[in-house]
Chain A
Amino acid sequence: MISTLYLVLRRAVLSLPILLGVLLFTFMLVRVGNNDPVGMLAGPTAGANEINAIRAAYKLDQPVLAQFVEYVRLVFRGDFGTSWLSGKPVLDELLLRLPATLELVLLGSFVGGLVGVWAGMRSALHANRRFDHWSRFLSLLGFGMPTIFLGLALIFVFFFLLEWAPPPMGRIDLMINSPKLVTGSYLVDALIAGDKAAALSAAGRLVLPCLVVAIVFAAPLIKQTRAIALDVMASDYVRYARAAGLPKPMVRRMVWRNSSVPVLTYGATELTALFGAASVLELIFSWGGVSQFGLTAILKGDFAVVQGYVLLMSVIAIVVFAITDLLIVKLEPRAAAGAR
């Protein structure tokens, strides 16, 4: 247990410099750009004096490095700055929208993960049989579908042609009052409040975007799981177990167990990438989650929000990898022993 904790802590501490580096990079990036927020804030009629006043008020007249040090100092005290567009604290704005994105990505990747790992594993166990051909074909197709097109195609088929899905406009029907805010996920909140109409509406809105996330997640996972499992099956110990005549279910369990760690590692990397991909998806479905918010901020040059968003994404990535490490230690005790 101690060694597990040590492993996770070590990872977290090691990721700090990366975090700082990413932050510095973003910080420089938004400042070298030709998106000048001061002009935007001051308006077209502002004179040079007003512009300079705003510049000074936001400390934009200071050297970039000094600005960065000040920013990091404030972040450690929980102050992420103020959005220049809305005038509200960045952290509040981000946290308000985070549940919507979490709901979408976690639910979608859960479904996609189950299907992806199952299909990939089955593909490997029955390599070059009919199931394998189909799952590889579908994986290729899913991989070829960019999020933008997949989302639109599903909207066209399920909303326009079949009229099964609700319109792709937001997380709940406009006519229905959103449930009392508890977790921030409309579905969960409606269930807590016992509001059946709201729960149904929220669930209905979730289906299509979650399906997109699931497909985007599952397609490469099938391919990777298959490759990993085939590697394991070609290993000496599995071949020996087979030659020794171990019953099939036992060999299969062996393949499962030994594939689990690399599959998990791959899945974790993909999962963090999904949060980025979610931005475009949210745009298509007018989802209004944190990723769409970050995307808009980038386009509008809202520096503080962009920095906060990037920081949030890095923290999410670090949390995902920490959880993965914990799971890996559970599955493979050797990993913890090796860390010491």
Chain B
Amino acid sequence: MNAPSTLAMHQSPAAVGQLHRRIYSIARSTPTGTVGLAIISVFALLALLAPWITQFDPVRPFPNSVLTGPGAQFLLGTDGNGMDVLSRTIYGARYAFGIAVPVLLFGLIVGVPIGLYAGYRGGWVDEITLRVMDAIRVFPSIILALAIVSATGQSLANVVLVIGMLDVPVFARLVRAEVLALRAGGFVEAAVNAGNPTWRILFVHLLPNCIRGAMAQMPIRMAWAVRVSATLAFIGVGIQVPTPEWGAMIRQGADYMISGEWWVSIVPGVALVTLIIGFSMLGDGLEELLDPRRQKGSR
């Protein structure tokens, strides 16, 4: 996920000292993206180190200190079960990444080949793919996700699968549009005439040339995945209380919002918002980096 450094390697295979300078110059050219990356890294660290940096077990109740406000013993208070809100919020980062990363992979692994093939083949294959993708897109995604998860059984794996499925059309469309522009290019014809099998043309010749748009979208889609999964958990679908997941935690505190125990919802909520903003900032940064003059006609 360390986008700037992969870019740097790809552009200058020279000495390590140069690599540092390269990273520095990229960071300077897109401060937004750098801040976003920093935010994401902090959360990733929290997720990795959760067991060592948290004070309490995230699902250990303290029956004598239910709904204690932020203070010396519980830094950010306890929830309605008497569980430590700070520890739970830190563990929540694991769920955020644990959902967003596989969702992204699913969307890429399924969506990119579909887009490649539809764009390359054209004709009715393309037409049908496009129609199906559009049908998925006109549908309110929350409702669709909700319907599928509640129908297919409520598990974390299903949540990931469903949100990933909703990502497929996004990547398929992006890649398809770029393939359409490239198909007429001489190098594709050359590859065909040289006797390359279709899969080779798709994955060796076309893929590297049309993955940029999809790359810039990756963090944005991760932001979206974090948001949707939290919303599902908030409704109570897929992830159940007392799992230390941010959406479920916000739900737990929702009723206390009008009676003043704000920390139960606000603490995981702020974490959620910060991570989403981090992803969006990285996305904006990548967009700037990958195409300084925003592509025209991509709408």
Contacts and interface: CB of A to CB of B under 8 A. Distances in A.
A29 B147 contact: yes
A7 to B, nearest CB: 18
Interface string A290-324: 00001100110100001001100110010000000
- Give the interface size class of chain B: 35 or more
Interface stretch (A14-22, A59-67, A91-99, A238-246): A14-22
A152 interface: yes
A262 B257 CA distance: 40
Contacts of B258: 155-156, 159-160, 167-168
A156 B147 CA distance: 30
Contacts of B277: 140-141, 143-144
A144 B273 contact: yes
Interface in A56-89: none
Interface residues of A, number: 57
A148 B141 contact: no
B299 A306 contact: no
B152 A262 contact: no
Given A18-B138, A144-B223, A144-B276, A153 B266 contact: yes
A323 B230 CA distance: 33
Contacts of A273: 140-141
B56 interface: no
A228 B295 CA distance: 11
B131 to A, nearest CB: 7
A178 interface: no
Interface in B114-155: 131-132, 134-135, 138-143, 146-148, 150-153
B17 interface: no
A234 B293 contact: yes
Given A18-B138, A148-B230, A272-B138, A156 B266 contact: yes
Contacts of A30: 147, 151
A203 interface: no
Contacts of B134: 18
B150 A148 contact: no
B227 interface: yes
Nearest to B296: A231
B230 A146 contact: yes
Nearest to A156: B257
B82 to A, nearest CB: 21
B235 interface: yes
A310 B146 CA distance: 12
Contacts of B143: 276, 279, 294-295, 298, 309-310, 313
B223 A298 contact: no
A26 interface: yes
Nearest to A284: B254
A145 interface: yes
A160 B265 CA distance: 14
B294 interface: yes
Interface stretch (A31-39, A180-188, A329-337): A31-39
Interface in B238-282: 247, 250-251, 253-254, 257-260, 262, 265-266, 269, 272-274, 276-277, 280-281
B217 interface: no
Given A35-B150, A298-B146, A152 B280 contact: no
Contacts of A265: 299
Contacts of B146: 295, 298-299
Contacts of A314: 138-139
B227 A146 contact: yes
A148 B151 contact: no
Contacts of A33: 150-153
A276 B140 contact: yes
Contact of A299 (B152, B235, B259, B280): B235
B237 interface: yes
A147 B231 contact: yes
Interface in A260-276: 262, 265-266, 272-273, 275-276
B234 interface: yes
10 contacts: A33-B150, A35-B150, A144-B223, A146-B227, A146-B272, A276-B140, A276-B143, A279-B140, A284-B254, A299-B237
Given A140-B277, A227-B294, 16 more contacts: A30-B147, A140-B281, A143-B223, A144-B274, A148-B230, A160-B259, A160-B260, A228-B299, A231-B294, A262-B299, A280-B231, A283-B235, A299-B150, A310-B143, A313-B140, A313-B143
